[in-house]
Amino acid sequence: MPAKKKVLLVLFSLFIAISLVSSGFASGVLYSQNFLPLKEEIRAALGDQPSVGAISESAKVIQEAMELIIKNSLREVSVQILRETAIEGMLESLQDEHAVYYSPQDYQLIMEDYRGQTSGVGMFVTKEDDQLVVVAPIEGTPAYRAGIKSGDIILAVDGQFVQGMDIDKAVAMIRGEKGTRVRIKLQRGESGEIYEVELVREEFRVPSVVSKMMEDKIGYVGYRFFSVGGAAEVEKALKELKEEGARGIIFDLRHNFGGPLTDAVEVSRLFVREGNIVTVRGKEGTEEVYQGTGTGDEETPMVVLIDRFTASASEVTAGALQDNNRAVLVGEKTFGKGSVQVIEPLPDGSGIKLTNALFYLPSGRSNEGVGLEPDVVIKSEGEETEDIIQNKGMEVLKELMGGKGVKDFKEIAHAPRRTRSHENWVIFKGIAHAPRRTTSHENWVIFKGAG
């Protein structure tokens, strides 16, 4: 099916960037075209069974019900409202927390956001316990200038409360054309203070890769979001750092919400020469395995920084490096989003999203709902005057550069050992990263979004 008619999105995280970013940024989603389009999957599953006719018969019943309602109901209702309500009811029956119907207007805005053709107020948000929470404002944007902070809760947009609302729809309300205004009511995460700001939307671009040379010949590469062609940017940054004499690499995936599956795989291949990177498993046993291509740099010592907002494609790459013993993960437990959603357009310009697969890391484990455990745990409270996670990462990297192997480092202690560092407790974790076993029934429960 042509790309313009088919968008297959692997949605690991619930993060959305309300901003203008580089072309191909998928706002916290991974997308791929390796699976059969949804309509073809349905046809393949049904084959020539009478169920095909049953679908046609059901459509007739729905049409007749709509005609009867419009003809006899005391309350006037449009065909569009009835159609949308019917679709929403079908999606609700799936018991899939990610399933949602998009109106033509919402679908258009979301597709523009996936293509990076957006303008907005400049902040990253996530959904936690049915609340829209600010992950971080982007420096130099309207949200940043207005004093919005990480951890603030968005209560309402232009007077409409957003608690419990699908995150894509909430984001579509905040986004808009350059120069237009939006009112946002928030609750300060620390004090609980309620405040409101009126922002003028702007266009801006956030660079996906930030690199610099640090002390002791340590190269730093911060990857803010995965995007089409992003791996080439990472590769270029790595090459420049090595030309400057870098002997070790800090790869920062904190606050990275994801992007294209292809980019997650290609970035992983920069560091993993051989072996599995990620496996996608869908309906009826469909499976796609991504592996190294034999060209990755496995010699340069490496540490990956992660936090609770590391999600989606970031968990694919971090998990691949961890399971292949290529790098030491330092920081906080990651978000934990390993299910796959497909977004399909409908004839009237609207669209639907629903879960259709899961991702598995090289060891066979799924990060869905559990996240990735770092090898060295250090939790940032956000109040420190220095970057304690990065500082610990540099300490670990210096040990690796001094000759300690990744496997040796992970085996420092099988039992947790407490040390004091930067006024925070650090726990050196053992190698306890065995695959998480699930039965087919458990997989189905997660697949359906019930678990």
What residues are labeled active site? Answer: 312, 323, 337
Environment class of 364 (CB within 10 Å of its CB; exposed 0-12, middle 13-18, buried 19+): middle
271: which residues sit within 8 A by CB, 6+ positions away? 296, 297, 298, 302, 321, 326, 327
Helices (H) and strands (E) in the chain, counts: 12, 22
Residue 179 near residue 200, CB atoms below 8 Å = yes
Residue 117 CB partners (closer than 8 Å, separation 6+): 20
Tokens representing residue 110 in the block: 């979301």
Pairing of strands 302-306, 328-331: parallel
Contact 5, 336 (CB under 8 A): no
Kindly write down the DSSP assignment for every residue of 232-274, as one continuous string. Answer: HHHHHHHHHHHHTT--EEEEE-TT-----HHHHHHHHHTT--S
Residue 367 CB contacts under 8 Å (≥ 6 apart), including other chains: 315, 319, 334, 336, 337, 338, 359, 361
* Cα of 189 vs its chain's centroid, Å: 23
Instruction: Return the structure tokens found at 161.
Output: 């409360």
| C-alpha span between 362 and 275 (Å, rounded) | 8
Total length of the chain: 451
From the number of C-beta atoms within 10 Å of its C-beta (0-12, 13-18, 19+), residue 215 rates as exposed
Q: Are 258 and 25 in contact (CB under 8 A)?
A: no
Whole-number Å distance between alpha carbons of 334 and 366: 13
Output the 3-class SS for 143-208: HHHCCCCCCCEEEEECCEECCCCCHHHHHHHHCCCCCCEEEEEEECCCCCCEEEEEEECECCCCCC
